[in-house]
Amino acid sequence: MFVIRLLATCAFTLVIGQQVFAQNEATPVSTLGPHLAASQAPTAGVESQITFNSVHVEGPYIAMTFDDGPSKALTPKLLDLLAAHHIKATFFVIGENAADHPEILKRAVAEGHEIANHSWSHPNLGKMSDEAVRRELRKTDETISAAIGVRATLFRPPYGSITPRQKHWIHDEFGYRIIIWDVDPLDWKRPGASVVCNRIVKEARAGSIILSHDIHPGTIEAMPATFDQLQAKGFKFVTVTELLAMARPLPPKPATTPRSPAPTPAGSAHGSPAPGVSNG
């Protein structure tokens, strides 16, 4: 009897083992663990982690950005204004200009400002080959590094022109986050200092990334009043990198409760208007 029970137990164990082995064969487990599965799955919100027009922040923080410099004549004046107002800004520099005036980049960094890549010669990257784009970015990257001793971590495409595919390979290859804007005073059209100021002050919101250019005299002329009025509204100025570090998820929208249909007014059958109520 003991031998029969022993044989039965062995047979049962063999069958269970075969079933488990078959299941493992049908569902291979990665030797890299759950990280591989996570990397293969589509990730929601990847684009928002690469490209930024503005961010959601808990506080009145904004980022002033200045493109196309440095200008030998105008950027030092702007730096004087920023220092007088205790404001930090981000400069998206053109490589050709940065190569001509590395001392301005050094001063900007010494005073707490941020330097970022805006291409070498300001072309429309969306119409260029990958290799041509790569040359534009690499030359400027090297110029910034030579001037201030560190690499830029942000990139703004000229005219905001960039394809979705370019965003991803530039991010992957250079490590850049792509910075656009949500406030544009169109100062490059030179509408006058008061117009530039009014547009910025009117459109700025918490988390805004404000576009302007430190190569136009009217823009520099507009900045004292712009800074004064923004500060009077309670805004606080940070660099773009600092603003991105403050980003918080958007709060969920409150659930809406379906509204009950309004009771039919007395004397109005089948939805016909009550006395004194117009159909119009």
pLDDT-derived band at 262, boundaries 50, 70, 90 = low
Q: What is the pLDDT of residues 29-79, one digit of tens each?
A: 222 222 222 222 233 343 458 999 999 999 999 999 999 999 999 999 999
Q: What is the mean pLDDT of residues 207-213?
A: 98
pLDDT-wise least confident of 35-39, 124-128, 168-172, 173-177:
35-39
| pLDDT band, residue 95 (cuts 50/70/90) | very high
- The predicted model gives 240-265 an average pLDDT of 77
3-state DSSP assignment of residue 73? coil
pLDDT of the residue at 269 = 34
Which residues lie closer than 8 Å to 70 by C-beta, 6 or more apart?
91, 93, 97, 98, 101, 104, 105, 108, 214
Confidence at residue 107, expressed as pLDDT on a 0 to 100 scale = 98
Comparing 5 with 25, the larger pLDDT belongs to 5
Of the pLDDT bands very low, low, confident and very high (cuts 50, 70, 90), residue 259 is low
CA distance 66 to 222: 13
- Rounded to an integer, the average pLDDT of 175-184 is 98
The pLDDT score that the predictor gives to residue 257 is 62
What percent of the chain lies above the pLDDT cut of 70? 74
Q: Is the pLDDT of residue 139 over 70?
A: yes
Q: What is the CA radius of gyration of the chain?
A: 30
Do residues 102 and 127 lie in contact, with contact meaning Cβ atoms separated by under 8 Å? no
How high is the pLDDT of residue 265?
45
Say what the pTM is.
Answer: 0.75
Interatomic CA distance for residues 204 and 232, integer angstroms: 13
Q: Stretch 192-220: mean pLDDT, rounded? A: 98
Whether the pLDDT of residue 278 is over 90: the answer is: no
The token duo for 22 is 């078959």
What is the CA 30 to chain-centroid distance, rounded? 34
pLDDT-based confidence at residue 253 (cuts at 50, 70, 90): confident
Residue 90: pLDDT band by 50, 70, 90 thresholds? very high
Is 241 within 8 Å of 216 (Cβ atoms)?
no
Domains and CATH numbers, the chain: 47-245 (3.20.20.370)
Tokens at residue 220, please? 């520099």
Q: Answer whether residue 18 shows pLDDT above 60.
A: no
The whole-number pLDDT of residue 252 equals 83
Query: Catalytic residues, which ones?
Result: 67, 213
